[in-house]
A = this chain, B = another copy of it.
């Protein structure tokens, strides 16, 4: 098959949205390079590229909270990836929230609206 994703346009990385396949909640956004995309296709588990650590990031490699791929979509410009996933452990965010998007912007301020599934100190041994 031809090139599915245009990694070159944005310098090698494209955003990848993880959406809960069952509830449709948006869990997180991370980035993929071509290698992580290929690994994701091959293994059926979400593999991102960590910009801060500058290496492949197999989601759940520390916490065990892997993301099983249910469906992969790409957008009309071929520069964004959408993963519909089954989030093992129930939480995608390293803070323990189900979704990284637990902060609502409202009336010039913010409030937290999210479900905390785990205590990061327990899961990451105090490293979070």
Contacts and interface: CB of A to CB of B under 8 A. Distances in A.
A1 B93 contact: no
A104 interface: yes
B41 A105 contact: yes
* Identical subunits present: 2
Interface in A105-128: 105-106, 108-110
Interface in A1-50: 1, 4, 15, 17, 19, 23-26, 28-29, 41
A76 B104 contact: no
A102 to B, nearest CB: 7
Contact of A15 (B4, B29, B102): B29
Given A1-B110, A77-B100, A105 B29 contact: no
A21 to B, nearest CB: 11
A107 B77 CA distance: 21
